[in-house]
Structure 1
Amino acid sequence: MKKLLVHLLFILVVVGLGALIGVSNVPGHWYQSLQKPPFNPPNWIFGPVWTALYVLIGIAGARLWLQAPASSRTQLWFGQMALNFLWTPAFFGMESTALGLFVIIPLLASILVFIGKNWQPDRVSALLFVPYAVWVGFASLLNLSLFLLN
């Protein structure tokens, strides 16, 4: 029962904070006015993708918390979450593609380090981060393109 509660708590907190940050930093006129690359996805895709990713991230965080709450792997999980939650206010809130890049590049690096550090001790958590790494890699390319085009 404890494991289930920890998993639910992590998922609810990650999804809830992600949603709160998202609705507090809605893409507005500034974002709509940016010149976009041809591979820019439609706006409606971001909400469902991030919700699914936040569930996976929450599960990985709960697994680490239950295994080793004071470990460097758990600290890395919290660090990448801080960067994740910083990107939206940096990019949309501050209306800055440059500041977004300044946050998303270390975020992507921390996700990749997380996968590497967890590959042996907790392969499931590492694999839960693979779709996240792919999406943030794509988002990094998109952020860089928006920076260069504008």
Structure 2
Amino acid sequence: MKLLKQLLILFSFGLFLYACGSSPIKKNSTTEEKPVVIANDSLEYEVIIIDPGFNFFLASVAKPEGFYSQNYLEARNRVWVLEWNNRARNPIQFNTNIYENIVDYQSTIDYGYDVNYKLFNYFLFAQQKYKMNLGGGFSGRIR
């Protein structure tokens, strides 16, 4: 039940971001963008990101898989999830059109490389697209 609730929240988060206007990141307008699925079958964990421009970002801007270690990705994701959730819990101070849902990322769970890689890159993408900084010493700039 908890997993289904998490999936529903994260799907609605992605759907909401999809509806949030245009992306400043250029993409080929002749191709239809498909959702990015972040999943770990062994944990029965799945997140679907529907945010215009993220596919393009992941395919052409993000560093290739293997560039960062899983430990590095997990460390960044822990910091960024904490800040994201802090903002989502403070709708008066932060834009609820961006920070609609809490991200249930638990540091005690090994989500695997793929989940951490895509989540990390989504946070990079979101920081660029929405001109925000989630902190942790690594802004939305690509290094």
TM-score (norm 1): 0.34
What is the TM-score normalised by the length of structure 2? 0.36
Relative to its length, the structure with more helix (as a share) is 1
**Computing the radius of gyration over CA atoms, which structure comes out larger, 1 or 2?**
1
